[in-house]
Amino acid sequence: MNNNVLVLNANFEPINICDIKRALGLMLSNKAVLVANGRGFIYTVDHNFPIPSVIRLYKMIHRPKSRVSLSRKEIFRRDHYTCQYCGHSANFLTIDHVVPKHLGGDSSWYNLVTSCSNCNHNKGGRTLKEAKMKLLRTPKPPPQKATYIYGRYLQNNHEWLAFLEGW
């Protein structure tokens, strides 16, 4: 059973993902209301509780916008799990610094790309010009949209798409 529940702020802005136990706790303590069920019911002796898919908080929570943090997994996701030099989707992908660290390159969205081990080895510790290689796409930070941030959950939660678009 899918255990993820999308949590919306009072203005329907997506702010978090929690598990079913936490979502039911928020609903039973009158801090949240069910927006979408679609998963059936939990049956007890006295009550039937809908299994939430999307809940909305009653009170507005002020918090900073969600950001995609720089990590190995997110670089692979941003680059669609393909080498940014040759375009192949290899089984063993690596992270490459476009400008090598020993030449002053930093670890940022603009300098890290997904690379297959062959291209990473061929480039070595050289610049693109020295290695006579080109990038397929210029590296940049991924979009900070809710559909991207929570996108990895959409495959199992199609009903969330309507709540994620536009944020």
- Tens-digit pLDDT profile for residues 118-163: 999 998 889 899 989 999 999 999 988 888 888 888 788 878 888 8
Give me Rg for the CA atoms of the chain.
21
Do 156 and 4 touch, CB atoms closer than 8 A? yes
What pLDDT is recorded for position 81? 93
Q: What angle do CA 163, 64, 61 make, to 5 degrees?
A: 65
CB atoms near residue 74 (< 10 Å):
16
Backbone angles phi, psi at 122, to 5 degrees: -65, -40
- C-alpha of 99 from chain center: 26
Model pLDDT for residues 12-39, shown as the tens digit of each residue: 888 988 998 899 899 999 999 998 876 7
- Do residues 109 and 70 make contact, with C-beta atoms less than 8 angstroms apart? yes
CB 150 within 8 A of CB 17: yes
- This model's pTM is above 0.85: no
Rounded CA-CA distance 100/107 in Å is 10
Give the pLDDT of residue 134: 93
Residue 106 has a pLDDT of 92
With tokens 């993902």, the residue in question is 17
pLDDT of residue 1: 54
E-assigned strand segments in 4-44: 4-8, 14-19, 32-36, 41-43
Q: Where along the chain do the CATH 1.10.30.50 domains lie?
A: 72-131
- Find out whether 143 and 67 touch, Cβ atoms under 8 Å: no
User: For the domain 72-131, what is the CATH code?
Assistant: 1.10.30.50
Q: Are 81 and 93 in contact (CB under 8 A)?
A: yes
